[in-house]
């Protein structure tokens, strides 16, 4: 009996410890940053860097990031593209040009917690993903990909990918030029979907939606007109395509929302920002 009591007590303490380790932060006390995701139209990395139509190509060559120029005008850019004024040959009538999102991050020494909150825009009814009304994904990059600190996730967006006007191969997904997991030139990708299992993968020479072991939980809910999506990810990662994150380090970060049953490129995206683990960045995941 005495041994049973000891075992039960140890089990209870371990369970309690595990529960504390996975306890979500008090989000009311976590700093937030407002980031506007916008409709990007057909603006692949090739369009951004060639310089004949996008003046920012010169700035990038000088080390200026997309966010440093466009952070405050993301909504205006989205409006031009979603209405077909610029870079969009296939207009979806009634689609929102941009979505303001509140982003928060925290860590407990073992796990990274990310929280995204936004108000649901008016529906257009033009999406092709019939199963998922909403998807949210974010990508992390460990300062290995050239320009990732400037262009964010745009290094994965190419003019020959499927659903792009020049895309001829329906199987060609997002990719990184010269990317591979072995070289460290890849993006760690996590995705929550309103229906079905979340994804834990990466984007290297192609997009892979599995293989990661860092994601502990991804959940979302809609209350009234407000969506809230939270992720819990092991800092250490541990699977294929998982970036091992550590206190004091800063990573490149970007996210996208597939709103209103959107599929493929018809999403809303953020510019590129930085995420610091106990370190100063655009978004700091403090303890």
**Cα dihedral 22, 99, 81, 95 sign:** positive
Distances (CA, A) of 144 to 150, 219, 226, 258: 12, 30, 36, 27
Q: For residue 25, is it within any domain?
A: no
Q: For residue 12, is it within any domain?
A: no
**pLDDT, position 22:** 61
Q: For residue 22, is it within any domain?
A: no
Three-class SS state of 71:
helix
Q: How do residues 153-208 score in pLDDT, each as one tens digit?
A: 999 999 999 999 999 999 999 999 999 999 999 999 999 999 999 999 999 999 99
Q: What is the span of the domain harbouring residue 124?
A: 30-285
Q: For residue 8, is it within any domain?
A: no
Give the total number of structural domains in the chain. 1
Kindly give the pairing relationship between strand 250-258 and strand 215-223.
Answer: unpaired
Q: For residue 4, is it within any domain?
A: no
Assign residue 134 the CATH number of its domain. 2.60.40.1190
**pLDDT, position 5:** 36
Q: For residue 23, is it within any domain?
A: no
Q: For residue 73, is it within any domain?
A: yes
Residues of the chain with pLDDT > 90, as a percent, come to 87
């Amino acid at each position: 009996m005495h041994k049973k009591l000891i075992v039960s007590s140890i089990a209870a303490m371990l369970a309690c410890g595990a529960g504390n380790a996975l306890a979500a932060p008090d989000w009311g006390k976590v700093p937030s940053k407002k980031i506007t995701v916008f409709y990007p139209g057909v603006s692949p990395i090739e369009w951004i860097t060639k310089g004949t139509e996008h003046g920012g190509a010169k700035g990038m060559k000088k080390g200026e990031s997309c966010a440093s120029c466009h952070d405050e005008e993301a909504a205006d850019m989205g409006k031009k593209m979603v209405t077909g004024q610029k870079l969009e040959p296939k207009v979806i009538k009634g689609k929102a040009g941009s979505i303001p999102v509140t982003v928060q991050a925290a860590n407990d020494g073992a796990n990274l917690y990310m929280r995204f909150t936004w108000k649901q825009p008016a529906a257009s009814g033009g999406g092709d993903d019939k199963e998922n009304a909403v998807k949210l994904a974010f990508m992390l990059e460990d300062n290995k990909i050239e320009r990732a600190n400037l262009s964010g996730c745009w290094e994965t967006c190419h003019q020959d990918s499927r659903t792009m006007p020049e895309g001829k191969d329906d199987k060609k997904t997002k990719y990184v030029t010269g990317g591979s997991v072995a070289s460290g030139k890849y993006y760690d990708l996590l995705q929550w979907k309103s229906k079905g299992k979340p994804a834990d993968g990466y984007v290297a020479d192609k997009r892979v939606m599995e293989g990661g072991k860092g994601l502990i939980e991804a959940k979302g809910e809609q209350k009234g007109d407000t969506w809230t999506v939270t992720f819990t990810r092991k800092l250490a990662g541990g699977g294929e395509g998982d970036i091992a994150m550590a206190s004091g380090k800063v990573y490149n970060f970007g996210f996208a929302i597939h709103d209103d049953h959107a599929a493929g490129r018809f999403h809303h995206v953020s510019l590129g920002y930085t995420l610091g683990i106990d370190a100063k960045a655009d978004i700091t995941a403090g303890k």
